[in-house]
Amino acid sequence: MSSSGMKNIIKYVLPMILSNVCFFMFTIIDAVFVGRGVGTNALGAINLVSPFIMVVGAINMLISVGGVAIYAVRIGRGDIEGGNKVFRHGMLFMVCAAAILSFIGVFFADKVCTLLGANETFHHLAVEYLFWYSIFIIPSAISMGLQNYCRNDNAPGLVSIVVIVTTVCNIFGDWLLIYPMAWGTKGAAIATGISQTLGLLVILSHFIRKQGNLRFGKIKLEKSLFKEIIVHGLPEGISQLATPVMTFCMNMVLIDMVGDLGVNAFSAISYIASFSMAVFFGASEGLQPLFGQSYGAKKKEDLKFYFKAGLKISFFGSAAVTILAVLFGGYIGSLFGTDAVTREYMLKVLPQFAVGFIATAVNVMISSYLYSTERSLLALNISVLRSIIVNAAVILILPYVFGESIIWFSLLIYEVIVLIIAVALLKHSEKNGIHFKE
């Protein structure tokens, strides 16, 4: 098993890490060009808008991962027709959700930015970015959904090609629209949207050539299947909310206790966090089809092998990311165009924040393992605690009790609390071994 298992891990995990890293690179590249080409306040404005963007991503992931988790189990059982039924319901669901989010972002951009705490310094820049970003939400969502399904349809290589194409197009688009054309934050948003739309055209080639098992077609709507998709995807969707909730709460506390300096410093740090999360979620999402297919085929030893491998990848990968973030924090700050004062403050607080990455990575892997093996309720409990309850409580309460110095340790504190709970729940769930549902 170890030889074939490692080949599967390389086949699925590495392309997914690359895919997620490149996906988050869209935002990071926007930040680099905006920070250097428009200014530090523009960088802070995009950071203030990022919770809405991350909520969009979380909802897309909820629907996509929910459908993919069911699809993987059905394919593992040899039920190709049932897998396609899930695929068609999932994509229809995603298009409808994306249309609603696009409507909100386009027609209520001003109100959304006010709600997110954009003050006079950041408001105009934030509204401009959000409006243009929202115009492209539908094609971006479809592209993301198809990539996740194709990854489970033996096409992880094509997904990697899509990501590379979109990343290259985004870099060129950012340069063109921000520098020669001087479109500011609007240009960054448009470049991201166009690149994602081009990625959609590339991933559609999988269906045009009729490779794999996935097929578009007519569907007879089943309400129960939509509900099942939500149930299976909810842990991942809520887990994706951890970053926007954390970002929103951190911005509120920083505005109150530190001021614009704290917001601008956190805008650069949050992009480091986004890159780190891309690696963590890439590892867990890459292993998801291997978890699901092993579970569907009732291969206990394979399932144990992949989970142990996932924990090792999470621990050592996150440790490496943490060390690199601390060592190269100054260079990263310069890359984003932060001024000297902001960069000095960022270097002071970055190590305190980055040390929480290791616990984050392990929590994400445990949650992925649980929802992929039809223990969505346990995964949901972990995700709710990590993404909504514990993180918000720690960030919003502890600084006012222990002072400003505790703000940057918030990530470490709430992730460790959740990790202890997650390990306890996992051990309790498997005290009598893995239970395979029919």
Query: Which residue is it, tokens 């669901």?
Result: 93
Exposed/middle/buried for 438, CB within 10 Å: 0-12, 13-18, 19+? exposed
pLDDT score recorded for residue 336: 66
pLDDT score recorded for residue 91: 93
DSSP 329-380: HHHHHHHTT--HHHHHHHHHHHHHHHTTHHHHHHHHHHHHHHHHTT-HHHHH
pLDDT score recorded for residue 30: 67
Show the tokens assigned to 390: 């514990």
Beta strands in 257-319 (DSSP E): none
For residue range 49-69, list pLDDT tens digits in order: 877 887 888 788 889 878 887
For 137, residues 6+ apart whose C-beta sits below 8 A from its C-beta are 56, 98, 101, 102, 105
Show the tokens assigned to 155: 């096409």
Domain ranges (residues) in the chain = 2-429
Q: How far apart are CA 32 and CA 38, in angstroms?
A: 10
Q: How far apart are CA 258 and CA 265, in angstroms?
A: 10
Q: Which residues of the chain have pLDDT under 50?
A: none
Show the tokens assigned to 142: 């479809």
pLDDT score recorded for residue 2: 55
Q: Output Rg (C-alpha) for the chain, integer angstroms.
A: 21
Q: Would you tell me how many other CB atoms lie within 10 Å of the CB of residue 80?
A: 14
- Cβ atoms of 267 and 44 closer than 8 Å: yes
For residue range 420-429, list pLDDT tens digits in order: 999 998 888 8
Helix (H), strand (E) at residue 17: helix 2-37
Residue 408's nearest CA partner among 326, 332, 335, 334 is 326
Query: Which residue is it, tokens 């909820």?
Result: 62
pLDDT score recorded for residue 302: 83
| Confidence (pTM) | 0.69
pLDDT score recorded for residue 100: 96
DSSP 159-195: HHHHHHHHHHHHHHHHHHHHTTS--HHHHHHHHHHHH
Q: How far apart are CA 213 and CA 12, in angstroms?
A: 17
- Cβ atoms of 271 and 27 closer than 8 Å: yes
Query: Which residue is it, tokens 């970053």?
Result: 243
First to last CA, the chain: 24
pLDDT score recorded for residue 25: 66
